Structure 1
Amino acid sequence: MRNKRVNYPKGNAMVFPLELAQIPEEEKVRDLKYLYPLEVTELNGMVMDVCDQMEYDGSPMYDQYPDKVTMERMASGICCHYCRQRDRVDQKWLRPMVEIMLCNEMNCRRERRCRHNR
């Protein structure tokens, strides 16, 4: 198997530490996502698409206490979509990974919305 060369948005080296302090927090998180493995990068895109669809007033994503059943249903939909695109997927890690990524992305969006409303 041959390794593919990947072009990263900030080049092939990490940012010099002094410059890192000058980068806004949201940009730091986005820039570090290039370190994700290819499969996780694809899953992250699907998670972000689902969260984009859930960004509206009254969305369950912004409830004070998000519903676990809704979260599991969203994660299940992402897993099904991912599995349909692949012939064989090791599902042992897939569902927990998607649930973690979904919770993380929703938390980031909730924090951003809370900061914006202040």
Structure 2
Amino acid sequence: MDNRLPYYMAYPMPLLYDDDKVARRDLDYMKSLYPAAAKRLIPYIEDECDRLEYEGSMMYDEYPDQLQLRLMCRRIYDRAEEDEEVPGKWLHDLIQVMAYQELCRRRCEHRNMRRKYY
């Protein structure tokens, strides 16, 4: 009897779509390590980014308008400052950093999704 394995069993192909799952799990883990103040801001930032996530949004512009980005961060700040004991410049700076990071992540996902289907 021939004991040779077929080629596809001898050299298994890595799962092509596992990279997205691993990246998402890694991101979720890193978000769980955020300090308490940053964890409280996550829902506000994700809600605002969800609101902007549509085809043709300024979020997907090659160079998003700085004024629109600052207005977006101001809307998040206005909603989040009610929950903070001592809101201030530090909160606004933290919101900007987290919002820009979230926008960057969503832009990358959008680019990768377009590449897969077109």
TM-score normalised over the length of structure 1: 0.75
Structure 1 segment 35-74 matched on structure 2, within 5 A: 35-74=33-72
Identity %: 31
Give the Cα–Cα distance (whole angstroms) in 1 for the partners of residues 93 and 60 of structure 2.
Answer: 22
Give the Cα–Cα distance (whole angstroms) in 1 for the partners of residues 87 and 82 of structure 2.
Answer: 13
In the alignment, structure 1 residue 33 sits paired with structure 2 residue 53: no
Which of the pair has more CA radius of gyration?
Answer: 2
Which of residues 76, 92, 100 is equivalent to 1:95?
92
Aligned to 2:106: 109
Per-residue CA deviations over 1:63-95 (Å, capped at 9, x if unaligned) read 111010001001011111111234x32412111
- Where 2:38 maps in the other structure, the secondary structure is helix
Aligned letter for 1:45? P
Per-residue CA deviations over 1:89-111 (Å, capped at 9, x if unaligned) read 24121111111111100000000
Aligned residues: CA RMSD = 1.6
Aligned letter for 2:88? Q
**Structure 2 contact 81–87 (Cα < 8 Å) conserved:** no
Moved over 3 A (4+): none
Aligned to 2:83: 85
Which stretches in structure 2 are left out of the alignment for 5+ residues? 1-20
TM-score normalised over the length of structure 2: 0.75
Aligned residue pair count = 96
- Where 1:31 maps in the other structure, the secondary structure is helix
- Where 1:84 maps in the other structure, the secondary structure is coil
Which stretches in structure 1 are left out of the alignment for 5+ residues? 1-22
